[in-house]
Amino acid sequence: MTAAVYHSAIFFDLDGTLIEGPFGVGVWPNVLDDLARKTGLERRALYEHIIAENERRQNDESFSALAAMDWDDITAAVAGQLGVRLAAGVCELAAAHAGQARVLDDGARILRQLAAPERALVVATKGLAKYQRPTLDALGLTPLFDAVLTPDVHNALKKQRAFFGDWPERARLCIMVGDRYDDDVEAPAGYGFKTVWKLADLPDAHRALDPFARARVYAYAPEQRAHADAIIVSLGELPDVISWLEQSLIQT
């Protein structure tokens, strides 16, 4: 077993958590406009078709993690099913519009505030490296991380334990920070991670509470059996949450 070399490893989701990537502003508008012109179908229906194909692949073990998350292949397959071809691939569009991405919540400053020799800061994203790396580079975020985990690295989806490789053994405390319940709360909680769920849309009564109290009173759906350790509304709350979680480990 790998000996722990960090006190804590903090894993960051990207889209919706740390950044607003180029897909919303550059990739999907171009792909959907192209498909709509060539098929006469509505953009919403086309987008739903693409997302359904992605979800089908994620739930079909005959697809590798790379194939499940390869938007180039997914959109080309959907276009083929509709009898057309796309003018530009997703990878090409993502790179071309990487400069339109933006960092959320003054995230670069938060990352610098969290940086410490005893902590590892790690990207943990469902997006393949060919889509995410250009964005991280364009935003100047790449040097702020100790590692970037994508499905390419261990050929595993983010919801699978193999996605994280040996990182859970390299730190005494693993903390996942993200905005999706399935990938950022449910799955990592099952691996023994602490989880910090970023939810901007909360009732005012909940927003007034501290992040740990929010997680206790949040109205989880019956099927959401795993509960977050903390719920934050912005990354500005994260340093205090991390400090508390780390201190709790020391005291146990």
Query: Which residue bears the tokens 């939810």?
Result: 199
Query: Is residue 165 a part of any domain in this protein?
Result: yes
Nearest-angstrom CA–CA distance, 203 and 182 = 21
- When divided into structural domains, the chain yields a total of 2
pLDDT at 3: 63
Rounded to whole angstroms, the maximal C-alpha distance in the chain is: 62
pLDDT at 8: 96
Pairing of strands 102-103, 119-124: unpaired
Among 99, 133, 152, where does a domain finish? 99
pLDDT at 201: 87
CATH of the domain at 107: 3.40.50.1000
Nearest-angstrom CA–CA distance, 231 and 214 = 6
User: Are 140 and 69 part of one and the same domain?
Assistant: no
Instruction: Please give the helix or strand (H or E) that residue 239 lies within, else none.
Output: helix 238-251
User: Are 124 and 215 part of one and the same domain?
Assistant: yes
Q: Where are the beta strands (DSSP E) in 171-225?
A: 171-178, 194-198
User: Are 71 and 111 part of one and the same domain?
Assistant: no
Residues with Cβ within 8 Å of 167's Cβ and at least 6 positions away in sequence, in order, are 9, 11, 120, 122, 147, 149, 174
pLDDT per 10-residue tile (average), the chain, 252 residues:
81 97 95 97 97 96 96 97 96 93 97 96 97 95 97 95 96 97 96 96 90 95 94 97 89 60
Burial environment of residue 126 by CB neighbours within 10 A (0 to 12, 13 to 18, 19 or more): buried
Query: Is residue 146 a part of any domain in this protein?
Result: yes
Cut 0.75: pTM above it: yes
8 Å CB contact between 126 and 183: yes
